[in-house]
Each structure stands twice: as C-alpha cells, then as structure tokens.
Structure 1
Amino acid sequence: MGPKRRRAARVLLLDPQDRILLLHGFDPQERGRQWWFTPGGGVEDGEELADAAHREIAEETGIRDARLGALLATRATEFEFDGRMYAQDEWYYLARTDTVETDASGQTELELRSTDELRWWTLDELNATRETIYPNALAKLLGQVLRKGPPARPVRLTGPRL
C-alpha cells in the first residue's frame, strides 16, 4: 500500500508583535522524533483551503479571531507519522490575530497524543534555534514576509521530509 494522499492548509499565524505561533509535536510511536510546526492540517472533503485553515487554527490553538491573508507558499512532502506514510500537498497562508492566549482543548485525539506545547516565536528565535522546525524554510519565508510583505505569487518550498 502506498502513502495516504492528503491536502493540508497550514498557517503562519502572527500576533501583534510579529511573533509566529508554532506547535511542538512528536511521533506517538517514536517520541524521540520531535519538531515544531505551524498550525494547520488536513482539508476535509468538499472544504475550501481557507475554510480548513480557519477551522484548524481554532481547533489546534483555540484562537478564533484570526484574519486570514495571502497564500504565501506551497509544498509537497512525504513523511511517516504514527506508523503510516503520507504524501501531503500543503498550502501556507499568512494570518494575523490579536489573541495571544492559546487553548488546545479543541484538538483531536491524535493531536492531543502528538503535541505537547504551543509557543510564540520571534524571527530571531527561529533563526537561532537548533530545534527542528517544519517547513525547513519557515524562518526565511517569515523574514521575507516581515521585511517585504507577502510575495506576489506563492513560493514553492522544498526540503527534507518530515
């Protein structure tokens, strides 16, 4: 059996100080394999990408006032997670919020089993960390957005698998 194909809407969610919210996750079957990642997830059948982005922000972070902006980037990736291979097409949106308090109580059972922290990061912290962050080009993309604004057309992100 091949990898499960999946579409995902992901979000660079920024607070009023231009910090980005990331979730800390791990593979439930390999707890030592850990990383930080943007809010977002699978697009349900018949759901628009922007609607999925809003839904995922609310479920994963409890933030309901996010204002979705430009589509910044796309990425195709393959990864193994919880004993299954995935082939995922991702769309990354910019979003802004005035809310900095988070609430993970709306997360799915799998999300609760595979995430343990939500944290606001500055661009300097992203650039300085040695921790694994997905997508790998996140700091570069965020830096460009903060300096120049969203790209005229979505950029294509590449890099190693999750």
Structure 2
Amino acid sequence: MTIAHRIAAGGIVIREGRVLLVRYRDGKDSYLVAPGGAIEDCESLATAAEREIAEETGVKCAALWPVMIENLRASRYQMVKVWYLCDCIDGAASCMAPAKEEGIIEVGWYGDSELENETVYPEIIKTLKIAAISRLKSEIIDHGVRRARF
C-alpha cells in the first residue's frame, strides 16, 4: 500500500516566557499543539508557518529559523513538519473561525508550570522548557518518527 506524504510547517512563538499553543479535543481528552499546518501552493516553509499561526491564533509573527524536524505517521499519510522559532510581532491570541473549523477549541499563551499536566506537541516544548527553546539558534532537532493523533 502506498501512503500519501504531506509537508507542513509550524511555529513555536514565545513571548514574555510563555509559548503560544492551540488546544484540540480528542474524544474526552484534549492536547496542546504549537500552531501549524500544511504548505499551500508554492509557499515557503517559513511563509506557511507564519500563515498558519495567523489563521489559527490571530497572532502575526515572523519565522526566524527552523529548530526541529518532526516526522508524523498518521493512518492516511505521513507528514514531515518543520518547526520554526518565531518572533511575535502583533496580535492578541484568539481562536479564529478557520481554526474552529479544524477542531481547535482554545488558543492561549502558556508558561512551563501550566504545561506540567498537559499533553503538548511538539514534545520539545515540555522537555527543553520555554527558556531553552528561545535560545535555540542553528541547531535542528530531529525528533524521529512519532505516531500522530489525527
């Protein structure tokens, strides 16, 4: 069986020691994810990350540099997602209409202590802590293959 492949980009946006995340409901459970999604037409990965962040959260940002490559395996496809560290430019975080259509139920800024009992993707947000992520410059973390929840 041939499986489809998708390319996506996401943004890890940190402001005042807090990270921008969206919450999805998965049955009775929920989980938090940094905003992101598939690239459209011929846009660059950085542009896709910026667009997805704005569409999902209303926050305008600038993608600075890639910090992680994630390989996600879902039942219908395999996705390679490049995560960018992003600089917050403007905008209050809110759950935008397109995001609600995709199943996002909440948007917000979270500190390390608020994430302790949460499931968070990409997992480096919890394992490295927010301050360490904001200092990443030219290192790209390859997190291997992870089974996707979608």
TM-score tier after normalising by the smaller chain length: 0.7 to 0.9
Q: Quick check: 136-145 or 47-56, which moved more? A: 136-145
Distance 2:2 2:124 in 1: 27
Equivalent of residue 42 in structure 1, options 30, 38, 56: 38
Distance 1:101 1:63 in 2: 6
- Whether 1:78 and 2:73 are equivalent positions in the alignment is yes
Q: Secondary structure at the match of 1:158?
A: strand
Q: Quick check: 51-60 or 149-158, which moved more? A: 149-158
- Whether 1:155 and 2:150 are equivalent positions in the alignment is no
Equivalent of residue 139 in structure 1, options 104, 108, 126: 126
Can you list the C-alpha shifts for 1:15-56, whole angstroms capped at 9, x where unaligned? 2x12101100134xxx23531101110011311101101111
Q: Secondary structure at the match of 1:53?
A: helix
Distance 1:152 1:59 in 2: 27
Distance 2:6 2:142 in 1: 17
TM-score under structure 1 length normalisation: 0.78
Can you list the C-alpha shifts for 1:122-148, whole angstroms capped at 9, x where unaligned? 12322x22x2211223222444224xx
Q: Secondary structure at the match of 2:25?
A: strand
Q: Percent identity?
A: 27
**1:118 aligned partner:** 107
> Across the two proteins, how many residue pairs are aligned to each other?
147
- Whether 1:90 and 2:92 are equivalent positions in the alignment is no
Contact kept in structure 2, 1:70 and 1:150, CA below 8 Å? no
Gaps of 5+ in 2: none
Contact kept in structure 2, 1:62 and 1:102, CA below 8 Å? yes
Shift of 1:57: 1.1
Can you list the C-alpha shifts for 1:76-122, whole angstroms capped at 9, x where unaligned? 01124xxxx231101010112154622333425741xx110012111
Contact kept in structure 1, 2:62 and 2:89, CA below 8 Å? no
TM-score under structure 2 length normalisation: 0.84
Equivalent of residue 63 in structure 2, options 65, 68, 80: 68
Distance 1:154 1:61 in 2: 25
